Amino acid sequence: MASPPDPAPSASAPTALGADFHHLLEHLDDGILFLDRQWRIVYANRAARRISRMEPGFLNGATHWELYPTTVGTEQERIYRRSMDERVSIEHEFYYPPFDVWIQLRTFPIPTGIAVHYRDVSQLKQANTRREASARQLQQVFDVTSDAIMLLDREYRVTFLNRRGAELLSRSGEIVGRNLFQVFPGIVYKNSPYVATYGQAMEKGLGGYFEAYYPDPLNLWFAVEAHPTDDGIIVFFRDISHERAAAEELERKTSQAQAQAAEIETVYRTAPIGLALFEPKEFRYVRLNDRQAAFFGLTPEQVVGRTLTEMAPIPGLQELFEQVCAGTPVINYPLEGELISHPGEHRYWTVNYSPVQAPDGTVQAISAASLEITAQKKAEKALIQSEKLAAVGRLASSISHEINNPLESVTNLLYLIAAEDHLPPEVRTYVELTQAEIARVSQIATQTLRFHRQASLPTRVSARQLVDPVLKLHQARLTNCGIRVVTTFVSKHSVLCLENEIRQVLNNLIGNAIDAMRTGGRLSIRSHDAHHPRTAAAGVRLTVADDGHGMSSETKARIFEPFFTTKDLNGTGLGLWISTEIVQRHAGTLTVRSSQHPICHGTVFSLFLPLGEGAEEI
């Protein structure tokens, strides 16, 4: 059956799916669809859209039962509803007449409804039918050569029985010259193939074949052919008892083998480590699983046939494979380097390479198992960096606390000096300058303590109160880099938040903006009242804009990923990721726009925070 053209990819994939996971679903051969609790199809991958003949308007519109009315009242509906109501996973296979297809499916309960994994098994069904037909034809051809022969006259008396026939029927004594149905009364019953087939050959001149059980005293299965002759019929038959038992056993073992092969293939394809097989001459990929292909951001089909060094130009890797070809496996080897699909990104693996030997001992392939530990390595480095930063923070907090006490004494002394009536004008000027600088030092110490001490309850705070302390902490960097700061606060409302967490977000955004303008520029910070673009909740929007070099589309697509950084050793890649988590806890949003245009370049981060009504409890 010809398949309809594949509809355009769905634009309504669940937002919880990452881009890579969505890409993987779209390229699965099996159909995946999600049904919400109102029975609307909220997501369908490419295979599902093809198998179910989905139009673009099917998603998030009418219910499944309206789109496919012939499923109403069927076993499929019962299974879907049971899976939805009882939150259980169910397997089912059924024939769908409108599309003339056999479907094999399994339902899974998910938080928003149920997910359905299914495949078109029509070709498998047809193949099984053809295989069974071929087996019967082959069996019939083989049965014609049977050496058990019996002749029956018009009265159904046995007139001839050859040696093999006599051996098979010996338990019944001498039967030649006797009526067959009297010798074997057990074969005379309703719809008996013996009676029907022999009668058809005898009376209508039509030959026939059947397999049937001979009851006591033979207790055997026979394959029987009956052909008309001029004076009766000729019967060819043979004992197929062992063959039937063997066929049943073979069918059982075949079914088990197919199930085991499917299980092994599933484990291979979905294993959390990369698995691959290479030919031993040019080290080309022969096969690989999804995880191994994901290292390159490709599908297994796109990698097969390409060489090892083409995909992973890592120094020393070629020599490792040559070592394996010589018969020495590589066990738990720490490998690091870059892949051709991700230049500039240093990654880490633990690998095992083993030779696959032929019966004569020659290496016919190389198996590879690779476990990527890049995230673990980056996490270790980030943890070390985090511990250092935490230690510095605690030290800075202690120093700030200790500085405040002598600063208070110095401030008091300066106040007393300034109160002297006979103080010379030039000395009074110096005293006032000293008081201003001491006040600035005290303010910096106070802000440092604020950043270190986290509040446990949310408070209402204005945009200016959030931004000003962060700018003061960065004042030295801003001055040294020649960056001009422009602030515009027109918001009339305050927001309910953990102010130090939001200051942490602003500290990260402003710090990134300064890093992008090392040779000077303008930092614009604005606030205004706004509404959430989707929920329409009232809130305040803060924008942090710089006219730095901007970001490429590739960088912009990954900036919120953990451990992704463009600052090499100076960054952990966790700042924006943590900032996103903080904003989400506050029921807000954090978005970015960036341009590398030669004239209009720079980056704008937009932070929306709700006023507090209806926001998530924090």
Residues 507, 593 within the same domain = yes
By C-alpha distance, which of 266, 286, 264, 265 is closest to 276?
286
Alpha-carbon distance of 384 to 452, in angstroms, equals 19
| Residue 65 pLDDT exceeds 90 | yes
pLDDT over 90 at 613, yes or no: no
113-166 pLDDT tens trace? 999 999 999 998 888 888 888 756 644 543 445 578 899 999 999 998 888 888
pLDDT surpassing 80 at residue 452: no
**Does residue 153 sit within a domain?**
yes
Look at residue 172 and tell me if it is in a domain. Answer: yes
Q: Is residue 296 part of a domain?
A: yes
Statement to judge: residues 217 and 298 lie in one domain: no
Based on the domain organization, do 96 and 162 belong to the same domain?
no
Residue numbers of the domain that contains 549: 459-610
Q: In the chain, what's the furthest Cα-to-Cα distance?
A: 155
Q: Is the dihedral of CA 576, 582, 584, 587 positive or negative?
A: negative
For β-strands 483-489 and 521-531, DSSP reports them as parallel
Whether the predicted pLDDT of 334 surpasses 50 = yes
pLDDT computed for residue 31 by the predictor? 93
Residue 602 forms part of a structural domain: yes
In this structure, the dihedral spanned by the alpha carbons of residues 315, 320, 325 and 327, taken in order and rounded to 10 degrees, is 170
Residues 427 and 497 both lie in one domain: no
CATH number at residue 166: 3.30.450.20
Indicate if 604 and 468 belong to the same structural domain: yes
Q: Are residues 390 and 345 in the same domain?
A: no
Count the domains in the chain.
5
Residues 519 and 580 in one domain: yes
Does one domain contain both 494 and 599? yes
pLDDT digits (tens, 9 = 90+) for 229-272: 999 999 999 889 888 888 888 888 988 888 888 888 888 888 88
Domain membership of residue 248 (yes or no) is no
Whether a cis peptide bond, with omega within 30° of 0, leads into 217 is: yes
Residue 254: inside a domain: no
Please indicate, yes or no, whether residues 433 and 487 belong to a single structural domain of this protein: no
Please state, as a whole number, how many other Cβ atoms lie within 10 Å of the Cβ of residue 27. 15
d(CA 551, CA 563): 17
Domain boundary among 372, 404, 434: 372
Name the domain boundary from 195, 219, 239: 239
User: What is the average per-residue pLDDT within 8-32?
Assistant: 69
Task: Examine the domain organization and report whether 467 and 603 are in the same domain.
Answer: yes
Asked which of 120, 148, 172 is the last residue of a domain, the reply is: 120
Of the chain, the end-to-end C-alpha distance in Å amounts to 57
CA dist., res. 289 & res. 230, Å (int): 67
Is the pLDDT reported for residue 615 higher than 70? no
Q: What is the rounded average pLDDT of the residues 401-417?
A: 72
In a domain, 263, yes or no: no
Task: Indicate the range of 97-101, 158-162, 447-451 predicted with least confidence.
Answer: 447-451
Q: For residue 524, what pLDDT is reported?
A: 94
Query: What is the reported pLDDT for 443?
Result: 62
Cβ-based neighbours of 377, under 8 Å, separated by 6 or more: 348
Q: Are residues 494 and 585 in the same domain?
A: yes
Q: Read off the CATH number of the domain in which 513 is found.
A: 3.30.565.10
Whether 73 and 107 map to the same domain: the answer is yes
Question: Does residue 195 belong to any structural domain of this protein?
Answer: yes
Tell me, what's the pLDDT at 449?
A: 56
CATH code: domain of residue 428: 1.10.287
